[in-house]
A and B are shown apart, each in its own frame.
Chain A
Amino acid sequence: GENVEQHPSTLSVQEGDSAVIKCTYSDSASNYFPWYKQELGKGPQLIIDIRSNVGEKKDQRIAVTLNKTAKHFSLHITETQPEDSAVYFCAASLNENLGRLYFGRGTQLTVWP
């Protein structure tokens, strides 16, 4: 199967700064990479995703980049706000495994006002 590693496990930034979370995957056949935000007591919320035929995708303050050669992808949050504080998970999917997502262990992001 796939192995997804995520770094860092915790990240603290000042409001207005940028935050970057990085993930690596092991199987070069992986072709779909979503990012989820999980707030305390809630389910994971899909915030952005990228497919293997695209190198970068942006949605307002959030962007994801994918480097297929190096097998890593990153989440970039600019102009961070206290409400961005949550646990962020990256995931990867092998098409032949259909609906299965392989998740990283998560990054606890804290944005200080």
Chain B
Amino acid sequence: DSGVTQTPKHLITATGQRVTLRCSPRSGDLSVYWYQQSLDQGLQFLIQYYNGEERAKGNILERFSAQQFPDLHSELNLSSLELGDSALYFCASSVAGGSAYEQYFGPGTRLTVT
């Protein structure tokens, strides 16, 4: 158990809908990272937040957005969902804010878009 929690574990929704994935980092970690894992693209970095501020951005679609709250939990919002958005979404956390060191992953949320 990494200490990173994610909810929900599974999510099934229809095209065009909007969903919110939630992540709580390990105690003491200030950075939260979001990754998407699919058979086509592998593990892809989406975005990083550090202590409430966006720190780094990767291959995140405009339909996707994220935020980190004062209690350090983070939410990833996916809107206007398409079939191709079906994937595993992982959250990771670390103490570091200025590097990629020692990221610990949560169990993931499996999103299925029908």
Residues in chain A within 8 A of chain B (CB atoms)? 32, 34, 36, 42-46, 49, 89, 91, 93, 95, 97-106
Residues in chain B within 8 A of chain A (CB atoms)? 2, 4, 31, 33, 35, 42-45, 48, 50, 55-56, 58, 90, 92, 94, 96-108
- Whether A43 contacts B103 in the complex (CB less than 8 A), given A89-B43, A99-B56, A105-B42, comes out as no
- The answer on a CB contact under 8 Å between B105 and A99 is no
- The answer on a CB contact under 8 Å between A45 and B2 is yes
Chain A residues within an 8 Å CB radius of B99: 32, 93, 95, 98-99
CA of A21 to CA of B42 in the docked complex: distance in angstroms?
17
CA of A104 to CA of B42 in the docked complex: distance in angstroms?
8
- The answer on a CB contact under 8 Å between B103 and A34 is yes
- Whether A44 contacts B43 in the complex (CB less than 8 A), given A97-B56, A99-B99, comes out as yes
Q: Counting chain B CB atoms within 10 Å of each CB, which of A34, A49, A100, A103 scores highest?
A: A100
- The answer on a CB contact under 8 Å between A49 and B102 is yes
A48 to B: closest C-beta gap in Å: 11
Give which listed residue, A32, A43, A98, contacts B56 with CB less than 8 A: A98
- The answer on a CB contact under 8 Å between A100 and B45 is yes
CA of A42 to CA of B94 in the docked complex: distance in angstroms?
18
- The answer on a CB contact under 8 Å between B104 and A46 is yes
- Whether A99 contacts B48 in the complex (CB less than 8 A), given A43-B108, A45-B105, A49-B101, comes out as yes
Residue contacts A-B, CB under 8 angstroms, 11 given: A42-B108, A43-B92, A44-B90, A46-B105, A49-B101, A98-B56, A99-B31, A99-B48, A103-B42, A103-B44, A106-B43
B25 to A: closest C-beta gap in Å: 13
Give which listed residue, B97, B98, B100, contacts A101 with CB less than 8 A: B100
Give which listed residue, B43, B48, B102, B105, contacts A98 with CB less than 8 A: B48
Chain B residues within an 8 Å CB radius of A95: 99
